[in-house]
């Protein structure tokens, strides 16, 4: 009997402990969220309801988007501090080697929320309230000059429930990666034909994707996300030989309007390939696109 009572007591304590731990975590469902001038899809995630001391170990920082979305949820408890958020991946590629050598430190720190003090004039801020303010400062100010905001805290990202992703390839010669599901939204990156990407979410004719970008100037790589239209994606990696053969076949069959996209894609995949450029020039001429035909003719002359 005594053992049964002890067991029941321990179980009740375990349940109470679990309930308290659960109450400390805010669960945000997956969905599309409007943030400033962008539409962002986020997988469901769990984040602390309250901020914790700055030196807390094993505390993953949420992204800017995750923090802003969580801050708009019921149960989120704002702190009177500047909270660390993860620096966007692209920022790490925005500095040249010359800048690193001149300043000794490169990069930026991102903070969310509002505390009491921001040092210096180097800070950039967006938002107007404790739930939508993001502050950015060069790493030089914190790491080299030792200037920090106060107070500083962290809000830990506990878990992200990532869904199944589908691998696709860019089919268009060039494709804009946009901040939202309309051509009115900013073009974040320009993708090229045959680039691989992962579809994170489908919404009508649009796909929210994640793709790896390589900077041309310094070779730096980073992953970024945005929206593209589904009709410009394909399951198989485009092949220059197949596209060229299909374009020639359509052109010889008198289907000029259908031949041009195939030949454009082939030319984008195999730059400077004379037979492809000649076929594309001929297709433009048959379609009455004089200016385009002349542009390709100039490319052919440069190959001589």
pLDDT digits over 78-127, tens only?
A: 999 999 999 998 877 776 666 555 555 567 889 999 988 876 655 677 88
177 shares a domain with 156: no
* 299 DSSP 8-state letter: H
264 shares a domain with 156: no
261 shares a domain with 190: no
Domain boundary among 124, 142, 161: 161
| Start-end of H helices in 82-140 | 97-103, 139
In whole angstroms, give the CA distance from residue 268 to residue 261: 11
150 shares a domain with 37: yes
192 shares a domain with 80: no
147 shares a domain with 75: yes
> How confident is the model over 120-168, as pLDDT tens digits?
655 677 888 899 999 888 777 776 666 778 899 999 999 999 889 999 9
Q: Is 153 a member of any domain?
A: yes
174 shares a domain with 64: no
pLDDT at 268 over 90: yes
User: How much is the pLDDT for 5?
Assistant: 38
**What is this structure's pTM?**
0.83
Domain boundary among 138, 161, 184: 161
Q: Is 47 a member of any domain?
A: yes
Domain boundary among 192, 215, 234: 234
> How confident is the model over 282-292, as pLDDT tens digits?
999 999 999 99
How far lies 212's CA from each of 33, 226, 295, in Å?
22, 12, 31
90 shares a domain with 203: no
Give the range of the structural domain holding residue 213, as residue numbers without chain letter: 166-234
Q: What angle do CA 16, 22, 28 make, to 5 degrees?
A: 160
The CATH number of residue 193's host domain is 2.30.30.40
Q: How many whole angstroms from its chain centre is CA 5?
A: 54
Are the CB atoms for 243 and 266 separated by under 8 Å? Answer: yes
Are the CB atoms for 202 and 230 separated by under 8 Å? Answer: yes
200 shares a domain with 131: no
User: How much is the pLDDT for 190?
Assistant: 95
Q: Is 4 a member of any domain?
A: no
SS3 state at 138: strand
Q: Is 81 a member of any domain?
A: yes
Q: Per-residue pLDDT averaged across 11-31, rounded? A: 62
* 129 DSSP 8-state letter: S
Q: Is 15 a member of any domain?
A: no
Q: Is 13 a member of any domain?
A: no
């Amino acid at each position: 009997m005594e053992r049964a009572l002890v067991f029941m007591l321990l179980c009740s304590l375990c349940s109470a402990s679990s309930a308290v731990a659960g109450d400390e975590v805010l669960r945000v469902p997956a969905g599309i969220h409007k943030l400033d001038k962008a539409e962002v899809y986020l997988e469901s995630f769990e984040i602390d309801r309250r901020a914790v001391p700055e030196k807390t170990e094993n505390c993953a920082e949420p992204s800017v988007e995750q923090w802003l979305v969580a801050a708009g949820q019921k149960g989120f408890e704002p702190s009177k501090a500047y909270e660390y958020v993860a620096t966007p991946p692209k920022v790490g590629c925005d500095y040249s080697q010359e800048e690193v050598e001149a300043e000794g430190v490169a990069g930026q720190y991102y903070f969310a929320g509002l505390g009491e003090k921001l040092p210096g004039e180097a800070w950039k801020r967006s938002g107007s309230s404790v739930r939508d303010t993001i502050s950015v400062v060069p790493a030089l100010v914190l790491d080299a000059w030792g200037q920090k905001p106060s107070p500083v805290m962290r809000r830990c990202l506990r878990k992200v429930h990532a869904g199944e992703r589908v691998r696709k390839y860019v089919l268009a010669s060039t494709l804009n990666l946009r901040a939202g599901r309309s051509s009115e939204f900013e073009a974040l990156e320009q993708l090229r034909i045959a680039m691989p990407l992962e579809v994170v979410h489908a919404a009508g004719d649009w796909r929210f994707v994640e793709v790896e970008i390589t900077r041309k100037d310094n070779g730096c790589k980073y992953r970024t996300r945005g929206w593209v239209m589904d009709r410009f994606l394909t399951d198989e990696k485009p092949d220059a030989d197949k596209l060229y053969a299909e374009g020639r076949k359509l052109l010889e069959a008198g289907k000029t309007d259908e031949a041009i996209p195939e030949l454009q894609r082939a030319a984008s995949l195999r730059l400077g390939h004379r037979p492809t450029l000649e076929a594309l020039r001929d297709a433009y001429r048959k379609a009455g696109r004089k200016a385009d035909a002349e542009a390709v003719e100039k490319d052919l002359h440069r190959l001589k």
